Homo-oligomer: A and B are copies of this chain.
Amino acid sequence: MPTYKAPLRDMRFLLNDVLRISEYSSLPGYSEASAETVDAILDSGAKFASEVLQPLNVVGDRQGCVRRPDGSVKTPDGFDKAYSAMVEGGWMTLSSDPDYGGQGLPRLLALAFSEMCSSANMAFGMYPGLTHGAYSAIHAGGSDEQKRLYLPRLATGKWSGTMNLTEPQCGTDLGLIRTRAAPLPDGAYSITGQKIWISGGEHDLAENIVHLVLARIEGAPEGVKGISLFIVPKFIPDSRGEPGERNQVACGGLEEKMGIHGNATCVMNYDGARGFLVGEPNRGMKTMFVMMNEARLGVGVQALAQAEAAYQNAAGFARERIQGRSITGAKAPDKPADPIIVHPDVRRQLMDCRAFIEGARAFAYWTALQGDLLHVSPDPKVREQAEDRMALMTPVIKAFLTDRGYKAVNDALQVHGGAGFTRDQGMEQFVRDTRISLIYEGTNGVQALDLVGRKLGANGGRGVFSFFADMDAFIAAHGGDERLEPFVAGLQTASAELREGTMWLMQNGMSDFDNAGASSHDYLHLFGLTALAYMWGRMAEAALPGAAAGDRFCVDKLVTARYFFARVLPDATSHLAKVKSGAGAVMALAADSF
């Protein structure tokens, strides 16, 4: 059975030495996040993830969720107690607004905790994850009354939340939504329609479930401009805010899936359910995107988290399994064979995982820091820059981290040889669970189109130019430092390639949108690799003093940085070549020839 130990040293290194959060200690949230507090939270979060959540990971996969004839859903054994422990431990309130019962700590810290949860038990982690998303959407778009009623209960997790977008005829194309909302005399709405693939749509973990539902008010304009957002609680809160009358919403069935069996994926039937409009009519997409963007960052972190857990087990296996001899002579002559970690191709796979995971973690945490700054910085310039970065990087984090995270869990399985394919070893669950991350919250293709079609050109390209400026500044600051030579040179190459790809897109993507679409996937990967190169440059720089002092962690960080530039970054060149090949070859075949 797989094990998991939170990579606390790496997390601290990022927070303290790379992102230097102490420099933000004058800001709300960060003022409370002293080194001692952060340490204590990370330590006990790690304990909670490893001791409470991780042992339930296999249970969740084997048992799955069960829908009873009355429409109620039983989660796997132990999930209810673990969820209660999470609520009681205050884990879900970490970064929530103190006005609504939250601890007001940085989101960055909450993200680190959620990484641990997703490493330990991805299916479980989705319940609190979506609950926090619902909290954020109501916080951003709800009325004061809605905030007072729902936020304290969602913040703690006493009530859980869901997002209801997909219908049988539409997932990506929300303009096709058919769920209807009819105004009631008292100002509420009557919601009718069917939603599918609703994660945590029904379960036995919380006393109430708050569904955020996209629907169309009678007479609304067609397409996405006629979509409104509603709160539809499973139990309608009574005058004291306690769960009251059962609403007309029910789980009509559970989806059988490839993985994340511990999470209930529900068909939700709304049959004249009472719903409460969030924000203005027909402006529902705007608020839903608050939840969706948070979820997209979270999904990228899920894949990174799964990769971390899978990697740890692969590394452990490679150190222990003996098989064959090193091609340069026996390394464990006292044993019948050497541990397989002596074999270069086994190491290649493990190093690929490491270089991805550590780079991706830096990238995700750096982006989460922007997510804090855009809310709490007193400087409008900083807020604007943070918002630009957050908008630009969200699709990259979602798609690049999940594509590469999926590769990493597959590499980790592969290191196990035949054992990796057996259920008992537990590696194949990582592959089955992680697979969804490339799909939900907008497929990776949708993310790529978001990047090239929306984010890149926003505000005249302000976000991407500011990212180039960040990299240029790093190169200028450290170009003369011999110790950083391979990293600065690699970053220089990467940023030049990304610039070239960006220029190509600007010149060719506007004149023929198919060029933008056909190149979007490779451009996003070129972008992700360059972002990781920037992160590896920054991590290498931060590791220098420790490495000079002989700190093993920092020495290893530089070794892994070297691996990234030598062995991972070269992929950028291929992606650039594909970007520049344009749409011709992609679009030439007639549809009925496929």
Contacts and interface: CB of A to CB of B under 8 A. Distances in A.
Given A324-B172, A594-B319, A559 B341 contact: no
A585 B556 contact: no
Contact of A585 (B351, B514, B589): B351
B417 A443 contact: yes
A385 interface: no
Sorted from nearest, which 4 A-B pairs have the closest CB atoms? A344-B517, A258-B428, A570-B577, A344-B518
This chain: how many copies in the complex?
2
B337 A176 contact: yes
Interface string A272-289: 000000000000000000
A344 B585 CA distance: 10
B586 A318 contact: no
Contact of A439 (B166, B418, B517, B559): B418
Contacts of A351: 585-586, 589
A10 to B, nearest CB: 12
A327 B514 contact: yes
A345 to B, nearest CB: 4
Contacts of A318: 594
A170 B343 CA distance: 16
Contact of A323 (B172, B343, B413, B421): B172
A421 to B, nearest CB: 5
A567 B562 contact: no
A591 B337 contact: no
Contact of A586 (B410, B563, B570): B563
A438 B428 CA distance: 13
Contacts of A583: 344
A516 interface: yes
B344 A514 contact: yes
A588 interface: yes
A211 B343 CA distance: 32
A431 B350 CA distance: 22
19 contacts: A170-B323, A171-B417, A255-B422, A259-B421, A327-B449, A327-B513, A327-B514, A328-B512, A344-B517, A345-B448, A345-B517, A347-B518, A350-B594, A354-B589, A354-B594, A410-B435, A559-B589, A563-B585, A570-B581
B567 A418 contact: no
A345 B567 contact: no
A420 interface: yes
Nearest to A577: B570
Interface string A564-594: 0011001101100110010111111111111
Contact of A421 (B327, B439, B521, B577): B439
A444 interface: yes
A57 to B, nearest CB: 16
A315 interface: yes
A135 to B, nearest CB: 24
Given A351-B586, A586-B351, A589-B560, A439 B424 contact: no
Contact of A591 (B319, B418, B445): B319
Q: Which of A418, A520, A571 has the most CB of B within 10 A?
A: A418
A348 interface: yes
Nearest to A591: B341
Contacts of A570: 573-574, 577-578, 581
Interface in A432-450: 432, 435-436, 438-440, 443-445, 448-449
Nearest to A594: B315
A515 B423 CA distance: 34
A43 interface: no
Nearest to A429: B258
A27 B343 CA distance: 44
Interface in A285-330: 315, 318-319, 323-324, 327-328
A311 to B, nearest CB: 9
Contacts of A421: 257-259, 435-436, 439
A51 interface: no
A418 B556 CA distance: 39
A244 interface: no
B348 A586 contact: yes
Interface in A213-272: 255-259
A424 B256 contact: yes
A453 interface: yes
Contact of A348 (B176, B350, B424, B518): B518
Given A176-B336, A344-B514, A594-B350, A420 B439 contact: yes
A346 interface: yes
B559 A581 contact: no
A197 interface: yes
Interface string A20-43: 000000000000000000000000
Contacts of A319: 591-592, 594
Nearest to A406: B410
Given A347-B518, A428-B435, A588-B559, A257 B417 contact: no
Interface in A343-370: 343-351, 354
Nearest to A588: B559
A161 interface: no
A455 to B, nearest CB: 15
B593 A552 contact: yes
A333 B453 CA distance: 22
A346 B257 contact: no
Contacts of A350: 594
A335 to B, nearest CB: 11
Contacts of A347: 518, 586-587, 589
A582 B80 CA distance: 51
